[in-house]
Every structure is written in C-alpha cells, then in structure tokens.
Structure 1
Amino acid sequence: MKRTASNNRFILIFTILLIILLVGGSLLPLVGNVFQGDRTARRTTATPTPQLSPVQQENLEDKARGYELVLQREPENATALQGLIEVRLEQGKLDLALPALERLAESHPQQPDYTILLAQAKEYLGDAEGAFQAYDRILGFNPGYIKALQGMVALQLQKNRPERAIGLLQTTLQTAAQANAVTPDSIDVASVQMLLGRVYEHQERYTEAIAVYDKIIETNDGDFRPVWAKAEIFKQQGEIDKAKPLYTRAVTLAPPKYKDQIKQLSEQIDEE
C-alpha cells in the first residue's frame, strides 16, 4: 500500500513539474484533449530553464549527485531514480531526466504509468518515434490499458494518421472477448468504444460515431458517456430536438461531478 501511494505521488509530482516546465507555470492538462489539434503545451525545441538562483542550482546539483551515487550502487533503486528525475525537472533539464526515466520504466514494467510518463516526455521533446515505442511497450503487455491507448491515439491523430488510430482500436475490440476470457476485465470494452467514437467525431464521421455510441448504450444502458456524446453531436448539427432529451438523460445517469457541466451545456441550447 505504501509503495502504491509513493508511486502515485511521484507520478503526480512528475506531471506537475513537467507541465510547469513546458508551459511556463500554467497548469494546463499534460495530455489535453485527445481530439484538439496541436497541443499548446507541446515543445519540439529546448524548453525554458526555470529562474533559479545560483544557490538553488547548487543545492539541486548536490541532490542530483547524491541520487547518482546511490544509483551507482543500486541502478534500479526506484526512490533514487524518482528523486533524480524530479531534480532534473526542477532544473528545467527534461533531456537529462530521460535516462533515469527510461531506467525507471524498464526496471518496473509492473508500473505502466512510468512508461506513460516516458512516452509523454519523449513526445514533448519531439521524439515521436520514441513515444510510439513506449506506448507499444505497454500495449504489448496490456493491450487494453486505456491510458496507453489514449496516448497512442492522440499521437496518431497529431501525426495525421487517423486510420492507424482507428485500426488499433478496432483490433483491440476484436480481441477483447478472448483477452477478457483469460484475464477478466483486462479490456474495458465500453471505454475503448468511446475512444473509437471520439476518433470518428474528430474525423467528422458522425454517423459512424453515433453507431458506436448506440452499441455502448445497448450493452451499458446506465453509462452516461455515450448519451452525452450523442447529445453533443446533435447539438453541433443543430438538431436541438434530438439533443435536449439526451442531455436530460445524461444528467440523470451521470455521477455528481459531471452533472453540473452537462446541465450547463444543455442550458446553452435554450440561450442560443
């Protein structure tokens, strides 16, 4: 339990530091919306170095040397690897954090989020191929890991390869029954279908998107996500009479944290 809490804390710290590094202190989502074009946080050139005093830099370098000494004795020490990565990010040296992040991901394959972080770091440094390889590594072990699927799909769309994204998701769905028979719930079929529907929306293939959402509704009539997604499509197409009852149903089905947002979107229809 303590190890899991420690891992989650590192992932949170890494994400926050990387966001600060890449967007100059503005806490925007690291991955952002999968279906918006170029992500504003992405950088393919050198990232800005935080404004640190000489004393701060010296203290951080001392910390880095301490972690490196530990790693000379214990190359796979997770605590030292995490500490070194955090220090390098605080210094604004994402490129110097990559070797430690690579080692952390490779030595702890049971923690796929480490590899997710590696993929995101590589992507933001302009190494799309390295990011693809990192996502592939995860999906090779766990083809239904939704974070890896989201990352891979986002990158494929960014590289204008929608058919590859669609093919990946369709293959995942085709193999889901067999995979879940071996390891129950290893692939969340509804979540993968939602991702496929969103890709169709991104390509303005709305009929196909709605068909996917209808499949989810048929098998998961308590899932608010496809209902909300259909409402958004109909609203965008100006079919208000179809959108409004779907918004109402989505509000009924949604967990509390989403209800207000869906209500606001529904109310916007009356204001337009």
Structure 2
Amino acid sequence: MLVAVLVLFIGVPLLPLVSSALRGGTRPVANNSASGFQLSVADQTELENRAHSYELVLRDDPNNTTVLRRLLEVRLEQGKLQQALAPLETLSQLQPEQPDYTILLAQARQHLGDYEGSFRAYDRILQANPGDVNALQGMINLQLQQNRPEGAIGRLQDTLKLAAQANAANPGSVDVASVQLLLGWVYAYQERFTEAIAIYDQIMSANPGDFRPVWAKAEILKQQGQYSQAKPLYQAAVALAPPRYKDQIQQIADQLAQMPPPTQDSPEESPE
C-alpha cells in the first residue's frame, strides 16, 4: 500500500504505448496496445513496413522529430522495446525541454536491464533540474532496485539542501513537500518507520492542507497495528483529499473500522 500511495502522489506518467511495451517487454508477437488483442500477421507486416519507411526517411533527415515519434510509436506497438531505444534516445537529445522522453528512455533501459544507462538518463534530467519529481522518483526506484538505499537517501537529502537556493532563483522549481514524501517513503520501504513518521509530521506542520502526508502516516500506523491512531488520520485525509482520492481513502478507512483490534494497539489503550 505504501508503494501504491506513492504512485498516486507523484507517479511517473507513462504514455499508453510505452506502458504497454514495458509491461510486455520485447516479444516476436506483440499485443495491440489499443485493443489488447494479438496482432495479426497482416498487422505485423504493415507495422514493419511503416517502420522501414520511417527509417528510410531518417537516413536523410535523422533529426526529423515527427518521423522519430512515429517510428517510436510503431516499435512500441510491435513490442520491440530494444528497437525503440534509438528513436527515443534521439528525441531525448533533440528535445531536452521535454524530459518525458528522457524519463521514458530511462524506464526502457531499466526494463531491459541496462541499469547504468537508466541511471545516466535520470541523472541527465536532474543535472538540469534537480527538482524534477518524476525523474527523482525514477532514480530512487532504480537505486532501491539495485539495493542502494543510502544513495537514494543521499540524493533526496541533497535535493532538499539546495531547495531554498533553487526556489529563490526559480520559484517552484523544487517541490519540497513531494521530495520529502519520497524521502519518507524510502524510510518506510526500509522499515525505518520512526524516521518516516518524523518526515510526514514535518510536512503536515508546514503544509496543513496537504492530505498526502496524513494518508502516508495513517498507512504506517495501520501497518504497525496502531489502528486507533490510524483511524482519525484516515478521516482527516478524506476531508483534505481532492475528490478523485476521497473514495479510495474512505474505503481503506471503512475496512480498518471492521478489523478487530490488535492485542496491543497503543500505549494509552494497554491494560493498567
């Protein structure tokens, strides 16, 4: 649930075609990303012919972004993620002002097992914009996957240290609360719950109208079996949350209300 909460808060957006390709990986017979049905031989042939025609254009005009995007879409629709890397790499270099291309490149490389290539792609974004939360989340997930939690914590702490200076030069360039949420999530991922809760309390104090740290803290308390402390936090999160999140949080709160109390809930409820 902690992972799900994080994705809801600051999830990395994926284009539908890319999302489909990353789920399925490179395969000889791909699934049609729009319909979910297996591509026919005729469809595969038609897609390969289109890809070949785009590649011919790119031989003479390698920086044609329109054709690069079309080639990328075809390769992803085919499920040929490895062959999608070349147009995606070129697009990320030609249009650095659109970091989604570089994020998608990093995700693709990570999916294919090129972790250093993925790291370099995320780092390229963060060198230009240290507060890019999508790139930060991708980088942190990669570092945790590689069992490098201290590197993840260090990256987030360094980002927070430079936030004031960065926001003075470019207001809003670092969303401090979102970076703190990431740091709290890393602590929770490591089961360093005291440190995670301290981070969430800090966010709640600075941003009393933000439902995210309230919900995140409630999740940790529920995970620890401290139901009586978690329940009011869920209700507070429901009250603060935007409409698209209210039902989901309320459902969790309702499920919690139906759970039997643990033998030891919180110190104040322990028998005298």
The TM tier, using the shorter chain, reads 0.7 to 0.9
Residue aligning to 1:216: 203
SS of equivalent residue, structure 2 residue 134: helix
2:51 is matched by which residue type in structure 1? A
Partners of 2:106 and 2:16 in 1: CA distance? 16
2:61 is matched by which residue type in structure 1? E
Residue aligning to 1:21: 24
Instruction: Name the TM-score, length of structure 1 as normaliser.
Output: 0.84
Q: Deviations over 1:6-57 (max 9, x none)?
A: xxxxx624324414533xxxxxxxxxxxxxxxxxxxxxxx645325444323
Query: Within 5 A, what are the aligned runs for 1:31-50?
Result: 47=27, 49-50=29-30
Match of 1:112 among 90, 99, 105: 99
Match of 2:126 among 139, 143, 161: 139
Query: Within 5 A, what are the aligned runs for 1:118-129?
Result: 118-129=105-116
Residue 123 of structure 1 deviates from its aligned partner by: 0.7
Partners of 1:77 and 1:130 in 2: CA distance? 24
Taking CA–CA contacts closer than 8 Å with sequence separation of 6 or more, which of the two structures ends up with the larger relative contact order?
Answer: 2
Residue aligning to 2:7: none
Q: Which runs of 5+ in 2 are unaligned?
A: 1-13, 31-37, 260-272
Match of 1:100 among 87, 92, 103: 87
SS of equivalent residue, structure 2 residue 100: helix
In structure 2, relative to structure 1, the CA distance for the partners of 1:49 and 1:219 (3 Å cut) is same
> After TM superposition, which residue ranges in structure 1, 4 or more long, deviate above 4 angstroms?
none
Match of 2:188 among 180, 186, 201: 201
Query: Within 5 A, what are the aligned runs for 1:130-209?
Result: 130-209=117-196
1:241 is matched by which residue type in structure 2? S
Which range moved further: 227-236 or 67-76? 67-76
Partners of 2:206 and 2:121 in 1: CA distance? 33
1:86 is matched by which residue type in structure 2? E
Q: Say how many residue pairs are matched.
A: 240
Verify the 8 A CA contact 1:144 1:187 in the aligned structure 2. Answer: yes
Partners of 1:246 and 1:74 in 2: CA distance? 57
Verify the 8 A CA contact 2:106 2:118 in the aligned structure 1. Answer: yes
Residue aligning to 2:247: 260
Partners of 2:58 and 2:23 in 1: CA distance? 27
CA RMSD of aligned residues (A): 1.7
Partners of 1:20 and 1:230 in 2: CA distance? 30
Verify the 8 A CA contact 1:21 1:89 in the aligned structure 2. Answer: no
Residue 166 of structure 1 deviates from its aligned partner by: 0.4
1:245 is matched by which residue type in structure 2? P
2:248 is matched by which residue type in structure 1? Q
Query: Within 5 A, what are the aligned runs for 1:65-84?
Result: 65-84=52-71
Q: Which runs of 5+ in 1 are unaligned?
A: 1-10, 23-45
In structure 2, relative to structure 1, the CA distance for the partners of 1:20 and 1:173 (3 Å cut) is closer
Residue identity (%): 61
Residue 261 of structure 1 deviates from its aligned partner by: 0.9
